[in-house]
Amino acid sequence: MIYVLLFYEFLKIGLFAIGGGMVTIPFLFDLTEKFNWFTAQELTDMIAVSQSTPGPVGVNMATYAGFKAAGVLGGCVATFGLVFPSVIIVILVSKLLKKWSENLFVADVMAAIRPAVVALILQAGFELLRLSAHDYFAFGFVVVFLLLIHFYKKSPIFYIILSAILGVVLKL
Amino acid sequence: MAECLKIFVSFFKIGLFTFGGGYAMVPLFRQELIEKRKYITEDELMDYYSIGQCTPGIIAVNVATFTGYKIQGAKGAVSATFAIVLPSLMIILLLAGILNVLSDNQTVSHAFAGIRLGVIALIGNEVLNLSKKAIKTRYHLFVFGVIAVLLFLFNFSAVEAVLVAAVLGGLRFFKEKWQ
């Protein structure tokens, strides 16, 4: 039964892909070799599409892959399988965190990790800049937008819609 | 129940307007969860990201589960997770048949090109916001510098970076203890 198999395969990905959406990609390529659910070429297209549709990229890819393998229900089953292990694990970790958050050792460790998270976000930004800002115009667009966002604190949703409109108007 | 519905609406909105996944979600988390609803603090958001990076699964989903648990326990965790996944699920399943056609459309691809640049600016702004909070002392700046070098020059993965920072924090604890 394909749904059970899909659930099992995506459960494994959810359990072993540590580090987020992009880490699931090699697991998905493994699936193309093991099953005839979708080809490697189709998977490459799925990855591209999943990066432009809203939502977490890892979830988009799982839904799309599940859909290709077994239709709408397949998409739901794959997504559920992917998310299921992390929900259980995060709830357990949350319980521990609550218990330990007063602990001075844990507090020191977490305080050291926070600047690291800033560095991670910076890296993510640079990675996107490298991939998407191909010319000086695009680069200038990012700088102007950054100043706008920093000084006129409107909702991120406002800026996302504005950037889509500008993209069409300026033919980016 | 009413609280779970509020959680659901918040995370559904975040899932619907995130383009690029993972860290692109930070500005939306800030607006909705820290500023508007006051569910969590900036420190907590950063903690969830760092732990969510090292626990299995999709980071954005892990952060949602953490936040939901903080607000309403296991019930909240499940509501938040379901809500953050649902927009993806609906959009992909509804559009799956025509997604390839859509991505070939000129207007759509211009809009996405604009969004990609807008998201970079939003992430840049988030670096500025969070560094004010997370990098207050020279020691914090030191950790930030070390991790940035490891990430940019030595191609460390995010998980490895978080682990190195944790070790630095642990060493500091013992250093203070012995002084």
Distance CA A18, CA B116 (A): 25
- Interface residue of A94, A118, A123 to substitute, partner B, most B CBs within 10 Å: A118
Q: What angle do CA A146, A119, B7 make, to 5 degrees?
A: 75
- Interface residue of B12, B58, B154 to substitute, partner A, most A CBs within 10 Å: B58
Could you read off the pLDDT of A34-69 as tens digits, one per residue?
999 998 888 887 887 887 788 898 999 999 999 999
Residue A98 confidence (pLDDT): 84
Residue B17 domain flag: yes
For residue A98 the two structure tokens come to 């609550």
Residue tagged 């510098």 (tokens): B145
**Please, which pLDDT band fits residue A127 given cuts at 50, 70 and 90?**
confident
User: Domain tally for chain B?
Assistant: 2
Tell whether B80 and B113 lie within a shared domain: yes
Residue B122 domain flag: no
Residues of A in contact with B74 (CB under 8 A): 91
Q: What is the pTM of this model?
A: 0.87
Cβ(A18)–Cβ(B55) under 8 Å?
A: yes
**Please, which pLDDT band fits residue B87 given cuts at 50, 70 and 90?**
very high
**Please, which pLDDT band fits residue B75 given cuts at 50, 70 and 90?**
very high
Q: Measure Cα distances from A121 to A12, A43, A51, B24 in Å.
A: 27, 27, 17, 9
Cβ(A70)–Cβ(A10) under 8 Å?
A: no
Pick the residue from chain B with its C-alpha nearest to A137: B117
Distance CA B20, CA A162 (A): 16
ipTM above 0.85, yes or no: yes
Tell whether B74 and B19 lie within a shared domain: yes
Beta-carbon count within 10 A of B24 CB: 27
Tell whether B139 and B111 lie within a shared domain: no
For residue A26 the two structure tokens come to 């090699």
Q: Cα torsion for A51, A81, B33, A100, to the nearest 10°?
A: -130
Distance CA A19, CA A86 (A): 12
Pick the residue from chain B with its C-alpha nearest to A171: B110
Mean pLDDT of A106-116: 88
Cβ(A69)–Cβ(A78) under 8 Å?
A: yes
Distance CA A6, CA A10 (A): 6
User: Rg (Cα) of chain B, in Å, rounded?
Assistant: 19
Tell whether B52 and B7 lie within a shared domain: yes
- Locate the domains of chain A by residue range: 2-100, 104-169
Residue B68 confidence (pLDDT): 95
Residue B148 is part of which domain span? 135-179
For residue A1 the two structure tokens come to 């039964």
